[in-house]
Structure 1
Amino acid sequence: MRTPIRALALLLLFLLELAVLVIGARWGWALEAGLPLRLLSAVAVPLLLAALWGVYGSPKARITLPLPARYGFQAAWFVAGGAMLAALAGPLLGGALVAAWAATAALVRATNRPT
């Protein structure tokens, strides 16, 4: 059953996923390297993250992992996003991203139960 809270939590999860892709691009651009490598990294990092998410992390992933493994992959993916954000803007923001994901994912799972 789709409740308004669940719908809002799913929207927030999607926005957090997009934020990790943007953070990956910004992190690639911020590398201390020449312009060609920075440009390549700014494109390649979010593409790699998106490919990994599509194969392992999304609800419609190409490779269906057992539920605990999928949750583990998703946690690692968001922790990587938090680490990139921490490198760019400080550990407080990186930790806030991971905490926002954890709270939202827990809300989605809690609202998935039949009432």
Structure 2
Amino acid sequence: MVTVVRGLGLLLAFLLELAVLAIGARWGWALDAPSAFRLLAAIAVPLLLAALWGALGSPKARVSLQPSAKRAFQGGWFVLGGAMLALLGYAWLGLVLVVAWVAVAVLLRRAPETAA
């Protein structure tokens, strides 16, 4: 059984993952390119991000990585989200995203997986 703290941590992690996908769409739309290309990028970037997350970063990823490699991938993924926010002119918000992910990751590592 999942504890309340772990459940909250998993929910926050999922919301942060969705935020990175939305940031990718916004970043794709903000490119200095013709509208058709911007629309394509706004669709393709989050799809590519989702495919990478599903293959390497998710708890049920298709490719089994060592725990340290998985954490490194996840960290890079959220730093990429923060960098896209910075490129959009929201550097502080990008920093908040990365710090929030670190806090949630620490919470999940410390929270027990089962209730005693």
Which TM-score tier does this pair reach, normalised by the shorter chain? over 0.9
Counterpart Cα distance in 1 of 2:108 and 2:44: 30
Shift of residue 113, structure 1, vs aligned partner: 6.3
Q: State whether residues 86 and 94 of structure 2, in contact with CA within 8 Å, keep that contact through their aligned partners in structure 1.
A: yes
| Higher relative contact order (CA closer than 8 Å, sequence separation 6+) | 2
- Structure 2 residue aligned with 1:60: 60
Distance, in Å, in 1 between the alignment partners of 2:89 and 2:3 is 35
Q: What is the CA deviation profile of residues 25-48 of structure 1, one whole-angstrom value per residue up to 9, with x for unaligned ones?
A: 000000011011101100000000
* C-alpha separation in 2, matches of 1:57 and 1:99: 18
- Report what 1:14 is aligned to: 14
Tell me the amino acid that sits aligned with residue 16 of structure 1: L
CA RMSD of aligned residues (A): 1.3
SS in 2 for 1:36: helix
Aligned residues: 115
Query: How far apart in 2 are the matches of 1:72 and 1:28?
Result: 24
Q: Partner residue of 2:46?
A: 46
CA shift, 1:90, in A, is 2.0
Instruction: Determine if contact 2:54/2:60 at 8 Å carries over to the other structure.
Output: yes
- Output the amino acid matched with 2:101: W
Query: Counterpart of 2:59 in structure 1: which amino acid?
Result: P
Give TM-score scaled by structure 2 length: 0.94
TM-score (norm 1): 0.95
The aligned amino acid for 2:102 is A
Aligned to 2:85: 85
Among the aligned pairs, what percent are the same residue? 61
| 70 and 83 in structure 1: CA distance in 2 versus 1, 3 angstrom threshold | same
SS of residue paired to 2:88: helix
Q: 1:112: how far off?
A: 3.5
Structure 2: gaps of 5 or more residues: none
| Mapped partners of 1:54, 1:83: distance in 2 | 21
Match of 1:32 in 2: 32
Identify the residue that residue 76 of structure 2 maps to in structure 1.
76
Structure 1 gap segments, 5+ residues each: none
Q: Say which is worse superposed, 67-76 or 2-11, in terms of deviation.
A: 2-11
